[in-house]
Structure 1
């Protein structure tokens, strides 16, 4: 057998490659990246993330600190897990970090580039933000929808009264998400949800699929240039395309129904408002709001509005059922203030101080979106002595910040009294409490969502006492979280309403 020998020229050929690898490692070490767990080739740190990503990142922050760096596939990611670091990112360095990644979780989900939440930073986003603040979610507009909220809450109370009369067990998530959907449907489309049951149910299915896809890791997102092949093989690409096309057809039909409709001042729904802006911009030759933009905004309104309010109300009632002391205290406040009035209106909400504390405490422990929608760094900056480079994605782990023992005493306990006499609010100016984000990218629909949450909870706690199924104690209530972009309760809360006389 002829012995195998290494050609003399092979080491010379490999030497430049070796030097390049070494130089790259030296350069990476000089970049002063934030600390983080070592990853694997190709996949980076993907294998270290569990089903509940925010909890995995929280555990990592305990070891590596409030600013950690990972790689998901080929995408660099920095996660913030402390209030002070969040303040630096969202306030001091807001302008350097206020854009969005070109591909967000769903690769080719085309509407992502057009709506309020996902559009990259630029003139178009600024114009869209101005429209959302001044037209869609202004205090005047939110107040114009008051009658819708009060009618739908009254309808829910009537449904629960029937369940109370028959002592029936109810799935509170199903009822509260139905309420949220009904309200947003009427706010956006101006039609009664019940009058369009088939159409609305179809839309619910399509929207649920779209939200599910938003929380899906896409190979084309994590592995540019080659990931699209994997997405096609797994069927994700086909699901994305189908979801986009179905949503597009549905929203186009809704918009066409509104065209040419005459609506009185103060009675417009969101589609009416957007079509009026489109017409005005066409006349002025200014930034054009196209039909695709309108569809994207409507998708955003539904996805954010239904999810955030429904999730918050479910978790609030869950925590109240687990804490009889807090339940007794909040019901006493509402019933003392309201007396025999029979129902709580929005004018009454400001008198219910402890209710406001309960809602805040719910958002501290159960923020609707545990990881704020990722930002993308536009220009380099330093934070905590580390350099953050362009194209890095930034996540703020508000779930972890809400459980930071350096900020919150007994952070795992549901204690609404911690907000007594506190000026901390949820508008994005207090970085220890960011359920709706902060800086330029804070959620514009905060007032609309918080108003519905408080009005609904006030009426449910005023009109009913709540009991667990026979044989079940408060210790049996499961508070596990379900995986996803939003924190849903994994196991539904089933309760028996009893009418309060």
Structure 2
């Protein structure tokens, strides 16, 4: 695959997911004063009639609601609150009414039985820039144009036929990753960083037929940093979401930051599109190279897709696709290094299935690796990439969950992290035990509600088929080609599995490990 050429440099962005930033001094004093009038009106407007049975939940504080109780690890604190208030729980986060679903049965009702009335998306204020939220496949309303985007992706990216056609591309990216690790063999490497760059190049080759970053060069990481900064900013808590009256001033600058990042990303995409069209004037009417951009430009030439929708779709695919696959694979490596007996077992399975020295893992081998598949399921159970999924919204009145009324316009969260650690569903839920999935017909594709890390129903992640192939292949390639050790002075018990909550559930401390090539 060719390297990226001709696109202008992007100023380097350094991103970090941050905890709950709730100002406790002058901002809160000012906020309270500004909101007094609006709170009175909102309380009257939102007061339920006596015959409406709302879900139980914590009482919360005036103005703040349960914000301080939720804190910077909402998936954990909401799981803890659900043990007291039940699997369908309501609470106030500032002025925002939030209903939290925390059991497989409640999730089935929300995402399957009540899928249509809860299919609207609750949109964070930060992404309301350039009209992106109106045309986004992730945040857009469930409209005909949204269905059209989903159909385009299903046909050209995520169908079995399309995935089979791009199999060699994924094999090549797995070889690139192995080559990079081999170059750094014997020294600690940042596993997540290598995986992020690999997945980013996999997606860019699928979209544009070239690499966006060079794994071996620090000077070509600007695009990676831009994508990382964008996803980081979306996941940060925002006062404007908790107190909608503040949206007009964007007090923490979240929306302004997203605008900066998205503008740079759109500029990159515009340059790529313009170069494609200028290098071949008829490219808009032909799928040049057979990549995804070619298919989009063909639809554009037929007036079936405008440039604004193309740019937003590409932004969604890069932002959502890169983080989920790379983070899931990094968590798998971390859990295996913390559990050496599990690591030994999966490596033995790989050696028995792929006997020839130096033989590469291929996607077709994954079906013959049941323990590796069990490892991936167990990782997704313990560390779902999006622990609360993306928030739904009750777009109409009269919706009920678990016998309780869901207020119209309420945010609805599905705590898949809590479901993965439910003692009523999983024996020893905190233990990393891939064996629990051997001989058990449970999958993560949206049908078995005890394990739905990618969601279910019409708002399920459309990229699941690609993510599943990517994670299995990259993990198998790393484990087959290398023996893995922790840096000198570290024991298995020292592997830090603490989390950093954001748009995705990343490791708080990046995993560093030493690869020893298999002879």
Calculate the TM-score normalised by the size of structure 2.
0.86
Distance 1:27 1:97, change over 3 A: closer
Whole-Å separation in 1 of the counterparts to 2:200 and 2:84: 41
| Whole-Å separation in 2 of the counterparts to 1:248 and 1:22 | 41
Q: Which whole-Å deviations, capped at 9, do the CAs of 1:208-257 have from their partners, x for residues lacking one? A: 2211221123333332344322x1x4433432332232222222111212
How big is the shift at 1:107? 4.2
From 406, 421, 442, the counterpart of 2:460: 442
Structure 1 position 147 matched with structure 2 position 168: yes
Is 2:335 the counterpart of 1:319? yes
Equivalent residues of 2:212, 2:223 under 8 A apart: no
The answer on whether the counterparts of 1:171 and 1:492 sit within 8 Å (CA) in structure 2 is: yes
Moved more, 453-462 or 102-111: 102-111
For 1:121, the equivalent position in structure 2 comes to: 142
User: Is contact 1:106-1:217 (8 Å) kept?
Assistant: no
Query: Any idea what SS the aligned residue of 1:30 has?
Result: coil
Q: 1:15: which partner in 2?
A: none
Residues 169-227 of structure 1, C-alpha deviations (whole Å, 9 max, x = no match): 11111111111111112111211335797996332222222112211233333323443
1:171 aligns with 2:193: no
* Distance in 2 of aligned mates of 1:310 and 1:23: 47
Which of 365, 368, 374 pairs up with 2:382? Answer: 365
Counterpart selection for 2:208 from 189, 192, 198: 189
Shift of 1:395: 0.6
CA shift, 1:101, in A, is 2.3
Q: Is the 8 A contact 1:99 1:378 kept in 2?
A: yes
Q: What CA distance in whole angstroms lies between the structure 1 residues aligned with 2:340 and 2:193?
A: 23
Distance 2:254 2:57 in 1: 30
SS at match of 2:122: coil
How far 1:265 sits from its partner (Å)? 6.7
Distance change >3 Å, CA 33–CA 108, structure 1 → 2: farther
Sort the Cα spacing of 1:23 and 1:169 in 2 relative to 1 into closer, same or farther, 3 A: closer
The answer as to whether partners of 2:286 and 2:295 remain within 8 angstroms in 1 is no
User: Between Structure 1 and Structure 2, whose CA radius of gyration is higher?
Assistant: 1
Q: Give the C-alpha shift of residue 273 in structure 1.
A: 1.4
2:301 paired with 1:279: yes
**Structure 1 residue 258: deviation in Å?**
2.2
Secondary structure in 2 matching 1:79: strand
Q: In the superposition, relative to structure 1, how do residues 121 and 468 fare at CA in structure 2: closer, same or farther (>3 Å)?
A: same
Counting only pairs closer than 5 Å after superposition, residues 14-413 of structure 1 correspond to structure 2 as: 27-108=48-129, 110-164=131-185, 167-193=186-212, 201-229=221-249, 231=250, 233-259=251-277, 260=281, 262=283, 267-280=289-302, 282=303, 288-340=304-356, 342-379=359-396, 380-413=398-431
8 A Cα contact 2:399 2:406, kept in partner: yes
- TM-score under structure 1 normalisation? 0.89
State whether residues 52 and 483 of structure 1, in contact with CA within 8 Å, keep that contact through their aligned partners in structure 2: yes
SS of match in other structure, 1:96: coil
SS of structure 2 residue aligned to 1:348 = helix
SS at match of 1:368: coil
Report SS of the residue matched to 1:95.
coil
Does the aligned pair in 1 maintain the 2:125–2:240 contact within 8 Å?
A: no
Unaligned runs of 5+ in 1: 1-18, 283-287
Q: CA deviation at 1:383?
A: 1.9
- Structure 1 residue aligned with 2:20: none
RMSD, aligned α-carbons? 2.4
Q: What is the number of equivalent residue pairs in this alignment? A: 473
2:126 and 2:255 map into 1 onto residues whose CA distance is: 12
Aligned mates of 1:309, 1:194 — CA distance in 2: 17
In 2 relative to 1, CA 426–329 (structure 1 residues): closer, same or farther, beyond 3 Å?
same
More deviation, 309-318/136-145: 136-145
Classify 1:109/1:426 alpha carbon distance in 2 versus 1 (closer, same or farther; 3 Å).
Answer: farther
How far apart, in 2, do the equivalents of 1:453 and 1:100 lie? 27
Is the CA contact 1:322–1:475 (under 8 Å) kept in the aligned structure 2?
yes
1:63 offset after TM fit, Å?
1.0
Task: Provide the residue aligned with 1:10 in structure 2.
Answer: none
Q: Deviations over 1:293-339 (max 9, x none)?
A: 11111111111111011101100011101111111111111100100
Change (3 A) 1:81 1:349: same
